[in-house]
Amino acid sequence: MPRVVGLDLSLTSAGVSDTREHLAVQTDPDEQLEARFHRILEQVADFVVGSTVTDLVVIEGSAYSKNTQTSHEELASLRLMVRLELWRAGVPFAVVPPTTLKLYTTGHGKATKAQMVAALAERHGLDLKAVKVAHGKYDMADAYALAAMGYHKLGQKLPSYGPPPPMRSIYAIKWPPLPAAA
């Protein structure tokens, strides 16, 4: 079975998941920005290209409605650094807008973070009840949902309950060249 990793990048709590393992890379907002970048890049690289082959990475893109945030430039830089590292490692990746991720996961593009967690629990049995928000609950949920999209695109849909996700969410993504079976 292929391995897909979802990345919900953040400067304070980046979510990482391949749907079997989940990680929230926590950083201190008072720490020097470059040190935070380094920690995130190091842990993401270890998860993605460490000891297991990764066939596809699905990254949550920018929330353009939030471009007025003071950290937008730094977050955009982090996304580009991660993409460069993936490119260097030869790992294909796709970028998914937040509204498309929400549409895929909940059926509507303006879902709240709590609705995303609830939808993943219902559809895939993902239990994040014990994870505090401050410890990456929402970040891990988004990363899981991103990975689920990638598995779906590769023809390896995760076991799920309820109605299938809207296919228009899959079609809306610019996917990298994938094996013929995808």
Q: Which CATH number do you get for residue 20?
A: 3.30.420.10
- Is residue 44 included in any domain, yes or no? yes
Q: Evaluate if residue 182 carries a pLDDT over 50.
A: no
pLDDT in tens, 48-61: 988 788 999 999 99
- Is residue 142 included in any domain, yes or no? yes
Q: Evaluate if residue 68 carries a pLDDT over 80.
A: no
Closest Cα to residue 97, out of 145, 31, 27? Answer: 145
> Cα separations (Å) of 38 from 34, 44, 45, 127?
6, 10, 10, 30
Interatomic CA distance for residues 114 and 112, integer angstroms? 5
H helical segments located in the chain? 33-49, 72-89, 98-106, 113-124, 137-153, 167-171
- Is residue 67 included in any domain, yes or no? yes
Interatomic CA distance for residues 102 and 19, integer angstroms? 17
Confidence of residue 180 (pLDDT cuts 50, 70, 90): low
Q: Residue 161 has what pLDDT?
A: 87
- Is residue 176 included in any domain, yes or no? no
Interatomic CA distance for residues 26 and 14, integer angstroms? 7
How many structural domains does the chain have?
Answer: 1
- Is residue 179 included in any domain, yes or no? no
Interatomic CA distance for residues 135 and 138, integer angstroms? 9
Report, as an integer, the average pLDDT of 34-44.
Answer: 95
Task: Say how many C-beta atoms besides its own lie within 10 A of residue 33's C-beta.
Answer: 14
Q: Evaluate if residue 65 carries a pLDDT over 70.
A: no
pLDDT in tens, 97-138: 999 999 999 998 999 999 999 999 899 988 888 888 877 888
Report, as an integer, the average pLDDT of 30-54.
Answer: 92
Report, as an integer, the average pLDDT of 153-169.
Answer: 88
- Is residue 61 included in any domain, yes or no? yes
Q: What angle do CA 126, 130, 134 make, to 5 degrees?
A: 105
Range of the domain at 56: 4-171
Residue 112 backbone phi and psi in degrees, to 5: -80, 170
Report, as an integer, the average pLDDT of 165-171.
Answer: 91
The partner residues of 90 in beta bridges, in order of sequence, read none
- Is residue 60 included in any domain, yes or no? yes
Q: Residue 69 has what pLDDT?
A: 56
H/E run at residue 17: strand 13-17
In this structure, which amino acid lies at residue 170?
A: I
- Is residue 178 included in any domain, yes or no? no
Q: Residue 66 has what pLDDT?
A: 56
Report, as an integer, the average pLDDT of 84-109.
Answer: 94
Q: Evaluate if residue 64 carries a pLDDT over 70.
A: no
